[in-house]
Amino acid sequence: MRFCIHRDVLLDGLLKTVPVAEKKSTLPILSHLLLNVADSTLSITATDLEVGIQATYECDIVEPGSLTVPSRKFLEIVRELSPISVTVELQESGRVRVFAGESAFELAGMDPDDYPVWSALEHVQRTSVPAAKLANMIEKTLFAASTDDSRYNFNSVLFDQVDDKTVMVATDGHRLAKIEDEVGLHLDTRVLVPKKSLTDVKRVLDDVKDEVSLGFEPKNMVVSAKNVTMTVRLVDGDYPDYNKVIPTIAEMIVKADRGRLIQTIKRVAVLTSERNKGIFVTFSPGKLEMTATHPDLGTAKDSVEVEYDGNEFEVIFNAGYFLESLGAIDSDAVVLEYRSTGGPLIVFPEPRANYFNLVMPMRK
């Protein structure tokens, strides 16, 4: 097996596929890429058994066939090569030779017949959706999903359908993010997509300027964009009724400059402890006052001007969750709505848009 391809084209394929390859696994071959050449086309495949991706490119084939290469080391080599034609060949010894100009490398591959079978799920019906809209919906929700792999349902993002709008929701039980938009999807049922998998999907979407094809079957999601196809195994589990935690009546409304609010929280958060990231936030007419206490180091206090003329009250919030919720907002100004004692704080962009974030208070 031997083929030639320009280094920049090959690098593009590796940048798309290598992040999917499993770094640590009981199956060493999952840390490899499968390269197949046939009919003037190079196919680069990577999978961790939860996500699969294949990118295809035109190339000059001397001899068709397949091989596997260690994904990350192959990427390091190709990245450092000069931007000229690269030749890749499988030698009789089983080693993979890579050379471009005066540069030459040999890598130990594995038997391509042992590589897991990957299917592009071509039978799944797909819908064209704007890549930028889908990427934005992922970005607006992904941060709120749990990082705890044992909570597999909270470690996912919910895709739901309400009339003509697709709704995406993520929560870890302490904060929640929700966005809705008309993207052309018509889901028959709710689906849960793993957080890690959506990170890989967004990486592909960020390179697409127009539309992608998106489809679902009971156990998988498939995304196709230009010369790249991804499959994602869905989570089989229940998701909480997110509408139950979203209050419908505003009792206290505060308008603030997002940048100044973020900087104030960051300053005060310097003296939160590792175990307790809580900051005391006092809402009073015209300002928010924040304090934090570190049991060994001392205290911090700061305030920021806001538009608020209601009663004074105090709430404790996790500084990190508060900052992430504000960081996911695009507008210069935000509106904070607090509904009731012990209830959540809702962070809206100002002017209002199709998304918001919610932060639960901490106990005193």
Amino acid at 172: D
Question: 2-114: CATH homologous superfamily?
Answer: DNA Polymerase III, subunit A, domain 2 (3.10.150.10)
pLDDT tens digits, 30-69: 999 999 999 999 999 999 999 999 999 999 999 999 999 9
Query: Is the alpha carbon torsion for 161, 167, 170, 174 positive or negative?
Result: negative
Query: Where does the pLDDT of residue 20 fall: very low under 50, low under 70, confident under 90, or very high at 90 and above?
Result: very high
Q: Which has the minimum average pLDDT: 22-26, 71-75, 297-301?
A: 22-26
Region 88-110 average pLDDT: 95
Helices 71-80 and 7-17, axial angle in degrees (round to 10): 150
Q: Would strands 211-217 and 126-130 be described as parallel, antiparallel, or unpaired?
A: antiparallel
Region 236-253 average pLDDT: 88
Distance of CA 157 to the CA centre of its chain: 10
Amino acid at 156: S
> Cα torsion for 24, 29, 33, 38, to the nearest 10°?
-170
The answer to whether 126-244 and 247-359 have equal CATH topology is: yes
For residue 311, with 0-12 CB atoms within 10 Å meaning exposed, 13-18 middle and 19 or more buried, which class applies? Answer: exposed
Q: Is the pLDDT of residue 339 over 80?
A: no
Tokens read off for 221: 């999601």
What are the structural domain ranges in the chain? 2-114, 126-244, 247-359
CB 166 within 8 A of CB 137: yes
Contacts with 132 (C-beta within 8 Å, 6 or more apart), sequence order: 205, 209
User: Could you tell me what percentage of the chain is helix, strand and coil, using 3-state DSSP and rounding each to the nearest 5?
Assistant: 20, 45, 35
CB 179 within 8 A of CB 140: yes
Q: Is the pLDDT of residue 305 over 70?
A: yes
Q: Is the pLDDT of residue 278 over 90?
A: yes
Tokens read off for 272: 């939160």
Q: Which tops the pLDDT comparison, 89 or 274?
A: 89
Query: Where does the pLDDT of residue 340 fall: very low under 50, low under 70, confident under 90, or very high at 90 and above?
Result: low
Region 153-161 average pLDDT: 94
Can you give the pLDDT at residue 285? 96
Can you give the pLDDT at residue 275? 82
Question: 247-359: CATH homologous superfamily?
Answer: DNA Polymerase III, subunit A, domain 2 (3.10.150.10)
The CATH class, in words, for 126-244 is alpha beta
